[in-house]
Amino acid sequence: MAGDEDDEQSSSLTESLLQHNSIHLRRSSPNNTSQFAIIGSNSCPIESLDYELIENDLFNQDWRSRGRAIKLRYVFLKWTFCLLIGIIVGAIGFFNNLAVENIVGLKLVAVSNLMDEHKYWTAFGVFATSNLVLLLFASAITAFVSPAAGGSGIPEVRAYLNGVDAPDIFSLRTLAVKIIGTITAVSSSLHVGKAGPMVHTGACVAAFFGLGGSRKYRLTCKWLRFFKNDRDRRDLVTIGASAGVAAAFRAPVGGVLFALESLASWWRSALIWRSFFTTAVVAVVLRFFIDICNSGHCGLFGKGGLIMYDVTSDTMTYHLADLPPVILLGVIGGVLGCYYNFLMSKVLQMYSLINERGPIHKLLLAAVVSIITSVCLFGLPWLAACRPCPSMMNGDCPSSNRFKRFQCAPNHYNDLASLFFNTNDDAIRNLYTTGTNDIYHPLTMVIFFISSYILGILSYGVVSPFGLFVPIILTGATYGRLVAVLLGSHSNLDHGLVAILGSASFLGGTLRMTVSVCVIIVELTNNLLLLPLVMLVLLISKTVADSFNHNIYDIILQLKGLPYLEGHAEPYMRQLTAGDVVTGPLRIFNGVEKVGNIVHILKTTGHHAFPVIDEPPFSPSPILYGLILRAHLLVVLKKKDFLPTCTRLGEKALKKFVADDFDKRGSGKQDSINDIDFTPEEMEMFIDLHPFSNTSPYTVVETMSLAKALMLFREVGLRHLLVVPKSSDREPVVGILTRHDFMPEHILGLHPYLMSSRWKRLRWRPSTLSKYLRSFVLWLAHRT
Amino acid sequence: MAGDEDDEQSSSLTESLLQHNSIHLRRSSPNNTSQFAIIGSNSCPIESLDYELIENDLFNQDWRSRGRAIKLRYVFLKWTFCLLIGIIVGAIGFFNNLAVENIVGLKLVAVSNLMDEHKYWTAFGVFATSNLVLLLFASAITAFVSPAAGGSGIPEVRAYLNGVDAPDIFSLRTLAVKIIGTITAVSSSLHVGKAGPMVHTGACVAAFFGLGGSRKYRLTCKWLRFFKNDRDRRDLVTIGASAGVAAAFRAPVGGVLFALESLASWWRSALIWRSFFTTAVVAVVLRFFIDICNSGHCGLFGKGGLIMYDVTSDTMTYHLADLPPVILLGVIGGVLGCYYNFLMSKVLQMYSLINERGPIHKLLLAAVVSIITSVCLFGLPWLAACRPCPSMMNGDCPSSNRFKRFQCAPNHYNDLASLFFNTNDDAIRNLYTTGTNDIYHPLTMVIFFISSYILGILSYGVVSPFGLFVPIILTGATYGRLVAVLLGSHSNLDHGLVAILGSASFLGGTLRMTVSVCVIIVELTNNLLLLPLVMLVLLISKTVADSFNHNIYDIILQLKGLPYLEGHAEPYMRQLTAGDVVTGPLRIFNGVEKVGNIVHILKTTGHHAFPVIDEPPFSPSPILYGLILRAHLLVVLKKKDFLPTCTRLGEKALKKFVADDFDKRGSGKQDSINDIDFTPEEMEMFIDLHPFSNTSPYTVVETMSLAKALMLFREVGLRHLLVVPKSSDREPVVGILTRHDFMPEHILGLHPYLMSSRWKRLRWRPSTLSKYLRSFVLWLAHRT
């Protein structure tokens, strides 16, 4: 153990710094971390969710009255909701695809017809204008109607499932804009996908079932109130999100795993079971609709739309000798992926500066990106040479999407146009098709890969609902084909197979998911024999990319400023105790408190919970009775059932209330203390807070290490964690820890000496990689 | 809210009972729940595992000295271990299959040859004797060498991952007996499988890597000590178990999901990632070995052995009209499954009475079961008529395992013998094969189903290592075929497909797993299009069976008396507070404690942790300093670095220790206080316990509801939870909660009035179902 002495020195320095600087500071200054985050495309206030059971007298009585019948009703409702969520999300998923296929189909048919008449400029005009109009429509409804619907929504859903609530993310308006916006944005041939928004859509649909109906429209029912709490809503949203993934990729197992691996922060075995049921329903619904479409009633839907690349082909064999190219594919895919994330974060930062300036700037940005995309999509195919149709088809390219004529003569096709001038889904299908090693020219692959990589990065920051998944799959497939072409005769692998592996490696390098991506790819391609290769590639690319930066969702979460609570403690948290990060001022209430005091404190602070302390004469010494929530205080104040004197009323106080009164309302729908008026007499009266206080709040002693306090906070899913003193001669509560007190910026702000890299995690930066690469290239050049 | 008054009455009754009866009782009487459980086939003492970070001065210093290099080393080791576990488990899995296929193959070839010569009695003699010898060998090595290797081991692994440790479950001896015993027991044609033991085998292999080498054989290294704690061991065992499942079924994704869904109690995202890597390695290793075998060097291994039923066939189509039979299949499968569990539990209880009497009785039981099985397997096929070989094969049955001649004339086959007179794997493959609707006579299916159902129940309780999975799959497949035969022309579904669905429904009805079983079936059959149907059947059968009893692993866990800590609180726990279940007497130490006191307390109690209290003069009032473990106390006592006077030494006390001294040793390897001798002078000296105490123990206030205390205990993974008093005028610690204090038998023993069904979960009993069924049948009979 070399370096022990150094450590002791630094630790004693640490301690002295700690004692001198912060003890005085920390009790008085409030936590200044931002309570705002970018939701969709606008900055909104955020709030924490509360998964704790509020065990006050009212809850206990309410719970006691739940007989067997009510429990059965609750179970029945849960499963019915799963069924309904599955049906609705499946239908929306199908509808999205139907709409996109038809709109894009109409557009491409019109443009192709003009090109057949050699009206190239008109064709470009029609193409670019329709793209522009479609994207501007999507951007406009997002910017003006529901900014929360912007982007894929996956970061917001992830944050919600981690306990961060934002108004509007699950509103009806958001859902409508999300669906319509996705359809138009994807139809505008922008390099974006429709899979990501399905996650948000599914979560939205599921969240409606957790609202407990609407009192405004009298659409409510006593049964629905079982779900009016954050725990049941969390379960519903998790289920909805997995249904969304399942609908996007027609991958029921992949959907469950995606939600499990990369969305949910808390997971229970029962939830696997219910979300699995939901995704099975989604799969059945999709099958039902596709059966209908197969009879030809769906316009230009054809066989396409819903991604399902059947590649069950006998040419997909591989041997141990194929491992080196596959490993190479994984390594390069990881590097490409980490650069993609790096560039994406830079572009997003730049775009956010533009988008901040207002809706007009958002639309301008969208217009510029749309025009660039249209120029690329229409212009680049001219670089490719016309190729005669393969001889096996008797020199005649079939009218399917695999071969596009573009500007070529009959019986010829333009291979670049077959990729550019198509929906992303069809392009992926083309690239995945086996036995097509000679269909694409190497240069085509180079051009398509570079433009696909760049367009993907440029597109995502535009204000409109769309996702990242499909462009990443497409770019990865191109990268795989490119590698296959470069390898040439050194490998016997089918190029279609390598394209699939390329997708896997690029997904592993950007999204960094493993099991779910693997299962989704296997479900997409319907070929289980691929599994070991896909796994290997994913593992390698993820490992490579993970040593440089975070996955793309984490990067976006950070850019959006969402206070995501990680499941593990940072090393520096072991250096601190819970008492070190508690910030003041702490507001407490007596067991029987004066109305005036309560109103004053509620008006002057933004806290959401207050400790209730019993002092003499109610107890021999000051003891902690429990914790009362602001929302519950407001309900009690509204009833105005005050006591004239400072006496303890006990459970009698509950007579005036039913449990429904205290149900958690939907996000954004909160009472404010300013809405209630009090007479001066009322302000002098008292409330007995005992029956409304949660008597079982979780507590930690102030000497508990912060890392272990975080474990408790995160594992149990708390909103407030009480810090109690070590010795008994002080107030029974020292402070309250909330989500924001665990955020690195807060902790490192209080204790700046922890910033030293010593306590931070290992991570290289992409720039370091560039440096190494450069020196490697220089070394190579020097040698030759 | 009808019934409110009743509730108040009962609750006030509750309270008065609580105050009168238990307050005096609970502090004085210790927790009497059993600290013994049946591990494998013997009753052994069990212990809890400790996943808490022990944050004492030593740990902090040790942790501080971990530089970047050590962390990298740790990460590197973790991945290397995954790779090694994958390779070893994959190799063992393959070896098991190779051995079984060859032994059974030799046996069947010999018997068939004798039958061809019409020496039927000799054939039966050879068959029965070889079966008897093989099973007796397996039973004998289990009973005499390592009783912990008995059974499938899945309940023990599940309990381990829940925090229950038992000596010997992961010892080298257990591993050897497990492998050899499984091979011989499965080769003895008993109606058992080799999949379950692979889980235990995988966990065993992984656990070795967590031992930190062996000091005895000098096979240790400084690096290995990173894993000498229960957290890292838990991770390793989880990974090993998933590798085992993957090796058993050649199902890498299914392996991970199985561990996630039904083995692990705690799971982290990083763990999915690593276990996925391991199962991928297993898949590659298996592929490598099978490639070798395909060149014909594996004796009778052939194409069989490793379950992989390729059923990618075009005849597997289905439509919405097929849903009713599928739903029926699920419902009946659920009922059959719950009865299977019910009967199994009765038989296991009966067998345990026999097995308790000693090894000879165990062997006798094994012999009886083996003879019954041999008689069934050899005798029942005589009931079936000989059938001519199908015409498509030109009247000549191929020599594969699909058709067995048995006693028939050439060009004929005995359909029952094709199932009975085969390995279970081959029988399943026969049943799953599509396009074989007419191969099996309906009566054959009836006979095989009934005998398979009964033999499966009779076999599992025999003392020997084997599993449940394969017989359940086989019984389910037969049940599916039977339903298909009964449906006849009412359904167009292929009988092979219905057999697969039958397996799924029976698995759902017995094991009650969903996602993992579904993925395993899909990976087994290599046909993704089955997914929605398999899901549906599983969901229905699980739902039906769940309303009657627990899954089979839970039943076995309970029979074995393993204190499994559920993730959810039972309703009655909300009625109690943490203080209500704390039992005494509590032993505490002072911050600086007399050696004599420590030795006395360690000798007179079995507690594993003691609160350390600072009293004047070390602090102004008694405060809780931390928690010290028995294991750590023993290490400190062994060094005999005692203080002559009662003074606080601080961190200087650590000089004599390195962190290695305090590493958690492997299960069963613990020091005992009786091994250390003290002189009378030493007994009068002092130890400063401060540097060795965990200063961040988790605490709950005594008024915290028991349900919420359980959440904390379970979610964070604790072994000891300190209960602190509500008011400050008492000792700073009221008691310690451990796993056993949360066990229903303890709580209901202390508070018997909670036994009323009111606070219990909903569950019907199979006997209730029988009652309903009987009245339904009577009603039907009455009508007609």
Per-residue pLDDT tens digits for A89-103 = 999 999 998 899 889
Q: What is the pLDDT of residue B721?
A: 93
Residue where a domain terminates, one of B527, B560, B593: B560
> Chain B contacts of A728, Cβ < 8 Å?
621, 623, 728-729, 732
On whether residue A32 sits in a domain, the answer given is no
On whether residue A307 sits in a domain, the answer given is no
Q: What is the pLDDT of residue B456?
A: 93
- Give the closest-approach CA distance of A46 to chain B in angstroms: 26
- pLDDT tier, B451 (very low <50, low <70, confident <90, very high otherwise): very high
Beta strands A589-590; B699-701: pairing state? unpaired
Q: Highest-confidence range of A722-731, B27-36, B199-208, B606-615, by mean pLDDT?
A: B199-208
Q: What is the pLDDT of residue B7?
A: 42
Cα B276 to Cα B254: distance, rounded to the nearest angstrom: 10
Q: How far is CA B770 from CA B339, B458, B775, in A?
A: 10, 22, 9
User: Which two structure tokens, joined as six digits, stand for B499?
Assistant: 């057999």
Q: Using CA atoms of B547, B548, B551, B554 in order, give the dihedral in degrees to the nearest 10.
A: 110
Region B27-35 average pLDDT: 63
- When divided into structural domains, chain A yields a total of 3
Q: What is the pLDDT of residues B674-688, one digit of tens each?
A: 888 888 888 899 998
Whether residue B677 is found in the same domain as residue B585: yes
- Give the closest-approach CA distance of B64 to chain A in angstroms: 7
Tell if the CB–CB gap between B532 and A283 is shorter than 8 Å.
yes
Nearest CA-CA partner of B362 in B2, B86, B41? B41
- pLDDT tier, B784 (very low <50, low <70, confident <90, very high otherwise): low
- Give the closest-approach CA distance of B514 to chain A in angstroms: 6
Of B312, B620, B708, the CB nearest to A53: B708
Residue A20 has pLDDT above 70, yes or no: no
In this structure, what CATH number is given to the domain that contains residue A171?
1.10.3080.10
Q: What is the pLDDT of residue B26?
A: 43
- Position with higher pLDDT, B235 vs B615: B235
Q: Using CA atoms of A702, A708, A711, A713 in order, give the dihedral in degrees to the nearest 10.
A: 0
On whether residue A17 sits in a domain, the answer given is no
Whether residue B324 is found in the same domain as residue B471: yes
pTM for the model: 0.87
Residue A679 has pLDDT above 50, yes or no: yes
Report the residue of B728, B730, B757, B758 to disrupt the A interface, i.e. the one with the largest count of A CBs within 10 Å.
Answer: B728
Q: What is the pLDDT of residues B253-295, one digit of tens each?
A: 889 889 988 888 888 777 887 888 899 889 888 878 887 877 7
Q: What is the pLDDT of residues A158-193, one digit of tens each?
A: 999 999 988 888 988 999 999 999 999 999 999 998
Whether residue A496 is found in the same domain as residue A394: yes
Percent above pLDDT 90 for chain B: 29
Tell if the CB–CB gap between B708 and A55 is shorter than 8 Å.
yes
* Residue of chain A nearest B519, judged by CA positions: A253
> Chain B contacts of A695, Cβ < 8 Å?
703, 705
- Give the closest-approach CA distance of A646 to chain B in angstroms: 22
From chain B residues 713-772, the ones with a CB under 8 A of any chain A CB are 715-716, 726-729, 732, 762
> Chain A contacts of B281, Cβ < 8 Å?
none
- Give the closest-approach CA distance of B631 to chain A in angstroms: 22
A546: left (phi over 0), alpha (psi -120 to 50) or beta: alpha
On whether residue A658 sits in a domain, the answer given is yes
> Chain B contacts of A621, Cβ < 8 Å?
727-729
- Position with higher pLDDT, A522 vs A79: A79
Cα B681 to Cα A323: distance, rounded to the nearest angstrom: 69
Percent above pLDDT 90 for chain A: 29
- Give the closest-approach CA distance of A616 to chain B in angstroms: 12
Tell if the CB–CB gap between A708 and B696 is shorter than 8 Å.
yes
Q: What is the pLDDT of residue B709?
A: 93
What average pLDDT is seen over chain B?
83
On whether residue A522 sits in a domain, the answer given is yes
Nearest CA-CA partner of A701 in B280, B611, B211, B64? B611
| Lowest-pLDDT range of A210-214, A311-315, B63-67, B360-364 | A311-315
Of B288, B711, B762, the CB nearest to A71: B762
Whether residue A624 is found in the same domain as residue A713: yes
Q: What is the pLDDT of residues A111-141, one digit of tens each?
A: 988 988 888 999 999 999 999 999 999 999 9
Residue B754 has pLDDT above 60, yes or no: yes
Q: What is the pLDDT of residue A393?
A: 55
* Residue of chain B nearest A313, judged by CA positions: B312
Residue A316 has pLDDT above 60, yes or no: no
CB-based contact (8 Å) between A1 and chain B?
A: yes
* Residue of chain B nearest A76, judged by CA positions: B543
Report the residue of A8, A53, A269, A512 to disrupt the B interface, i.e. the one with the largest count of B CBs within 10 Å.
Answer: A269
> Chain A contacts of B63, Cβ < 8 Å?
574
- pLDDT tier, B406 (very low <50, low <70, confident <90, very high otherwise): confident
Q: What is the pLDDT of residue A25?
A: 41
* Residue of chain A nearest B715, judged by CA positions: A715
Whether residue A638 is found in the same domain as residue A726: yes
CB-based contact (8 Å) between A28 and chain B?
A: no
Whether residue A486 is found in the same domain as residue A512: yes
Asked if residue A509 lies in contact with residue A493, where contact means CB atoms within 8 angstroms, the answer is no
On whether residue A422 sits in a domain, the answer given is yes
Q: How many other β-carbons are positioned within 10 Å of the β-carbon of residue A675?
A: 8
In this structure, what CATH number is given to the domain that contains residue A598?
3.10.580.10
Q: How many other β-carbons are positioned within 10 Å of the β-carbon of residue A755?
A: 13
On whether residue A82 sits in a domain, the answer given is no
* Residue of chain A nearest B2, judged by CA positions: A65
Residue B623 has pLDDT above 90, yes or no: no
| Lowest-pLDDT range of A138-142, A432-436, B454-458 | A432-436
Asked if residue A560 lies in contact with residue A346, where contact means CB atoms within 8 angstroms, the answer is no
Residue B403 has pLDDT above 80, yes or no: no
Report the residue of B6, B83, B253, B513 to disrupt the A interface, i.e. the one with the largest count of A CBs within 10 Å.
Answer: B253
- Position with higher pLDDT, A779 vs A720: A720
Nearest CA-CA partner of B727 in A732, A724, A691? A732
Residue B464 has pLDDT above 80, yes or no: yes
> Chain B contacts of A699, Cβ < 8 Å?
699-701
On whether residue A388 sits in a domain, the answer given is yes
Whether residue A398 is found in the same domain as residue A251: no
Residue A539 has pLDDT above 90, yes or no: no
> Chain A contacts of B624, Cβ < 8 Å?
701, 726
Whether residue B128 is found in the same domain as residue B249: yes
Whether residue B598 is found in the same domain as residue B622: yes
Q: Is A704 helix (H, G, I), strand (E, B) or coil?
A: coil
> Chain B contacts of A658, Cβ < 8 Å?
1
* Residue of chain B nearest A698, judged by CA positions: B700
Residue B473 has pLDDT above 60, yes or no: yes
From chain B residues 616-635, the ones with a CB under 8 A of any chain A CB are 619-621, 623-624
Three-class SS of B636-678: HHHHCCCECCCCCCHHHHHHHCCHHHHCCCCCCCCCCHHHCCC
- Residues recorded for chain B: 784
Whether residue B117 is found in the same domain as residue B202: yes
Nearest CA-CA partner of B276 in A497, A568, A543, A333? A543
Asked if residue B55 lies in contact with residue B229, where contact means CB atoms within 8 angstroms, the answer is no
Residue B197 has pLDDT above 90, yes or no: yes
Whether residue A481 is found in the same domain as residue A393: yes
- Position with higher pLDDT, A362 vs B315: A362
Region B553-569 average pLDDT: 88
Residue B597 burial by Cβ neighbours in a 10 Å radius (0-12, 13-18, 19+): middle
Q: What is the pLDDT of residue B2?
A: 38
Q: From the DSSP assignment, how many helices (H) and strands (E) are in chain B? A: 28, 14
Tell if the CB–CB gap between A320 and B277 is shorter than 8 Å.
no
Residue B304 has pLDDT above 60, yes or no: no
- pLDDT tier, A405 (very low <50, low <70, confident <90, very high otherwise): confident
Write out the residue range of the structural domain in which residue A223 sits: 88-301
Residue where a domain terminates, one of A537, A560, A583: A560
From chain B residues 482-541, the ones with a CB under 8 A of any chain A CB are 514-515, 518-519, 522-523, 526, 528-529, 531-532, 535-536, 539
Q: What is the pLDDT of residue A22?
A: 39
Residue B430 has pLDDT above 50, yes or no: yes
Cα B497 to Cα B403: distance, rounded to the nearest angstrom: 20
DSSP A116-171: HTT-HHHHHHHHHHHHHHHHHHHHHIIIII-GGG-S-SHHHHHHHHHTEE-TTTTS
Whether residue B329 is found in the same domain as residue B416: yes
- Say how many CB pairs under 8 Å bridge A and B: 199
